[in-house]
Amino acid sequence: MPAGKTMAKHRNPVRKEMLHNRLSREQLLKQIAAEQPVPRRTLSFYRYLKIEEPQRLRDELYREWSAMGVRGRIYLAREGINAQLSVPVAEFENFRQNLESRPGFGAMRFNPGVEDDGNSFLKLTIKVKRYIVNDGLGDFELDETVAAPHLKPLEFNRALEEPGTIVVDMRNQYESEVGHFENAICPDVPTFREELPVVADMLQDKKNEKILIYCTGGIRCEKAGAYLRKRGYKNVYQLEGGVINYAHAVKQEHLPSKFKGKNFVFDERLGERITDDVLAHCHICGAKSDRQINCANEGCHVLMVQCEACGHRLGNCCSEECQRISLLPEAERRALRKADESLKNKTWFSKKIRDSSATRSNP
């Protein structure tokens, strides 16, 4: 190994600690977060706007937000920004001013987390993408003439009670599996880009009906609502701020919650509980559970619903084989990940456990 690389390895204290204790980077970051707790606020926001130089903006934000201790996952593109992050409470106002001082970012609407333990993210990642949501629509122009009107939570509740109203979950199957609105249509699709044409096909004879759509924080519904309206669906409405905003309104305005179960979130928590209802079943044994985890074998890491009993029996792995691999030394696990490409076929395995879950639910 070249001398420069050896020196760089030892200059990096995180990498040095990883090598010394044989920890993965994720394990070490979790350990650091536990040992150095800082009060944090989890939030998400998005905006469709024209960004001329997303790479330059990315570099600016990364430098400035890193200095504030911000963690999270942010996507930038020429069409806008999509952000989920956590900010140290002591830096929150500095963060807000830093963001909103930029042209086009003023008066940003933040969606605060519902259940916030301060450990939603372990590091800061800001990526430049072609699009901020992988919707498969290409260069789809959003404008006020096609945008679906927003309904506030109380308005959404009232619309749900109107006879003939159709409500559609615009999230993925693994999200709606653990929580959804009463009587919602929940398409069995693994990605948003697959869902749009499926929904349009399912509702092709409902173009004059009142259609309500919702997602986690609102960003997917911006595109979905416009997509449907451009195809002749006249009465499409979206839930303002998504399920996250709805959950806050339920608590603050004492509204009856028509969303049941958990709201899936894309961070370390994997979910925020909205009601005590448990809608899902363990993918291993079929017991009622909405505990979602990733398989503890890093080479698999498939997302699954697993009850506490199966988690204890399998060491939070999806199978006995993955459990065996997860107990091997890190060097052996790394070698297996490189050698056995079948373990990386998450899409295949995700479909397998969804199909087995569907079989148990619909014998």
Q: Are 60 and 52 in contact (CB under 8 A)?
A: no
Query: Residue with structure tokens 């044989």?
Result: 22
Across 312-318, average pLDDT? 96
The DSSP secondary structure of 57-110, one letter per residue, reads: HHHHHHHHHHHHT-EEEEEEETTEEEEEEEEEGGGHHHHHHHHHTSTT-TT---
The percent helix, strand, coil of the chain (3-state, each to 5) is 40, 20, 40
Tell me: the pLDDT tens digits for 181-216?
Answer: 999 999 999 999 899 999 999 999 999 999 999 999
d(CA 144, CA 318) in angstroms, rounded, equals 46
Across 310-329, average pLDDT? 94
Q: What are phi and psi of 223, to 5 degrees?
A: -75, -45
Q: Which of 302, 295, 292 is nearest to 325 (CA)?
A: 295
Higher pLDDT, 144 or 241: 241
DSSP-assigned letter for residue 22: T
**102 burial level (CB within 10 Å; 0-12, 13-18, 19+):** middle
Give the CA diameter of the chain: 73
Q: What are phi and psi of 179, to 5 degrees?
A: -175, 140
Q: Are 124 and 95 in contact (CB under 8 A)?
A: no
Predicted TM-score (pTM) of the model is: 0.79
Query: Residue with structure tokens 């509702």?
Result: 203
d(CA 165, CA 210) in angstroms, rounded, equals 5
d(CA 318, CA 339) in angstroms, rounded, equals 20
Across 322-328, average pLDDT? 92
Q: How many CB atoms lie within 10 A of CB 115?
A: 15
CATH class, range 41-128: alpha beta
Could you confirm whether domain 150-261 is CATH 3.90.25.10?
no
The pLDDT of residue 141: 74
Q: Which of 268, 300, 272, 266 is nearest to 75 (CA)?
A: 266
| Residues shown for the chain | 363
The pLDDT of residue 158: 97
Catalytic, 295? Answer no
Q: Spot the catalytic one: 186, 215, 300, 317.
A: 215
Higher pLDDT, 107 or 144: 107
Q: Which of 324, 294, 328 is nearest to 311 (CA)?
A: 294
Ranges of each domain in the chain:
1-37, 41-128, 150-261, 280-361
Query: Residue with structure tokens 């009993």?
Result: 309
Structure tokens at 124: 């800061």
Q: How many CB atoms lie within 10 A of CB 265?
A: 22
Q: Are 352 and 278 in contact (CB under 8 A)?
A: no
Across 239-266, average pLDDT? 94
